[in-house]
Amino acid sequence: MTQSSRREFVKTMAAAAILAQHGAPPLTSSRIDVHHHRTTAGGGVKEIAYGYDTLKADGVHIYSSIGDKWPGDPMYLPIYEELNRRKAIIFLHPTPPLCCKLPPGIGAPVVEYDFDVTRGITSLLWNGVLSKFQDIRFIIVHSGGTLPVLAGRIQDRVPRNRPDLYPTGTLELLKKQYYECAHATFPWALAALMKFTSTSNIMFGTDYPQEPIESTTKHLPENGFSAELLHAINRGNAERVFPRFSNAIAN
């Protein structure tokens, strides 16, 4: 970690301490199994209400798939209606999908997680969640998985009778989402992401404790970013999405 990155990390930890001193809880998310095969739309809406109104959650955590369901399944549209009403921030993280079998000895975290990230967000796109509920902001992990590379291919295959997606809607809807860079700060990964979306949509993240923090931080200096861009990725962009953290520091 560079000296600049260390300073930003210390500032972030200081922000958490300040929040605690002022009685504010740390960043919290409510895990809503919105696409679990046993979750009804009504039950999911109740979970959302409890998470936001009782737990005072900052956002919602969903998985890229659960069982044989992906998050854009039409049966869950009422859940997204409620999340859209609340202008929710949704953090999408992968799980091992049931659909696919890897070669012997290769675990899902090696490659399959990031393919399922792309399946999950494409499911949200194809079933109209991204176009119908544009007050929801998604944070997609691992620098978008394989999405920055495959987005053009996805765009070329959307049905021409989908005015929300064709001819350029797909790229616009995908580019406007937020992307965190846990274990994906390799120069080639961030180069693809930065060609795909604005640097103002890229956030720092790690896979700790499953992965050491250094698996993310040690590669950031290899990108040759300016101090201003590092600040934006490390915390500035997140402070815009979660302004109470920035406000706590200012006060």
Q: How confident is the model at residue 140 (pLDDT cuts 50, 70, 90)?
A: very high
Q: Which domain holds residue 172?
A: 3-96+104-250
Q: Is cis: bond before 167, omega within 30 of 0?
A: yes
Query: What is the value of pTM for the model shown?
Result: 0.85
Predicted confidence at residue 4, as pLDDT, reads: 42
Pairwise CA distance, residues 202 & 225, whole Å:
13
Q: Per-residue pLDDT averaged across 151-165, rounded?
A: 94
- Could you report the per-residue pLDDT of 18-64, keeping only the tens digit for each? 444 444 455 555 555 554 444 567 788 888 999 999 988 999 999 99
- Could you report the per-residue pLDDT of 65-105, keeping only the tens digit for each? 988 899 999 988 999 999 999 999 999 999 888 888 889 99
Backbone φ and ψ of 203, nearest 5°: -125, 150
Count of structural domains, the chain: 1
DSSP secondary structure string, 217-247?
Answer: HTTGGGG---HHHHHIIIIIHHHHHSHHHHH
Tokens describing residue 110: 């090696």
Pairwise CA distance, residues 184 & 39, whole Å:
32
Element (H, E) at 89: strand 89-93
* Cβ-based neighbour number of residue 13 at 10 Å: 10
For residue 209, the domain's CATH number is 3.20.20.140
